[in-house]
Amino acid sequence: MKLWKLWANVINKDSEDPWIPSAGKVFRLIIRAETEERARKVAHQHAGRENQQIDNIPAPWLSANYSSCVEVKMDGKEEVIFAEISDDLTDDDYNDLQQSAD
């Protein structure tokens, strides 16, 4: 099995962004799965409100337009793989997080 890091993509259009507002939503996951497709399906199954928010947006963890997914290589650079953040994240906090991920 492989490890996969998934995170929310910034859309920059509130009407099309499943991550805004941010309350009750998952923004980053580390998942063990054999393939990216399986990792995305597991993420979808463990999602928060982002799966329910906007009718015209498909499930964001299943779509590369709304989320990113990369394999975590064991011989990769030094990095934080997981950090838990308070659930009172504001939209400004969310935007800061997204900019730091770039």
Determine the average pLDDT of the residues in 44-56.
Answer: 79
The helix or strand, by DSSP H or E, that contains position 52, with its residue range, turns out to be: none
C-alpha span between 72 and 51 (Å, rounded): 25
- Report the number of distinct structural domains present in the chain: 1
pLDDT at residue 102, rounded to an integer: 55
What's the number of CA atoms in the CB half-sphere (13 Å) around residue 68?
Answer: 12
d(CA 19, CA 13): 10
pLDDT band for 15, please (50, 70, 90 cuts): low
- Tokens matching residue 83: 């950090």
* Domain enclosing residue 65, as ranges: 2-101
Average pLDDT, the chain: 82
* pLDDT confidence tier of residue 94, bands split at 50, 70 and 90: low
pTM for the structure as a whole: 0.73
**pLDDT exceeds 60 at position 30:** yes
Q: What's the confidence (pLDDT) of residue 57?
A: 72
The C-alpha angle with vertex 99 and arms to 25 and 51, in degrees rounded to 5, equals 20
Mean pLDDT, rounded, for 55-81: 86
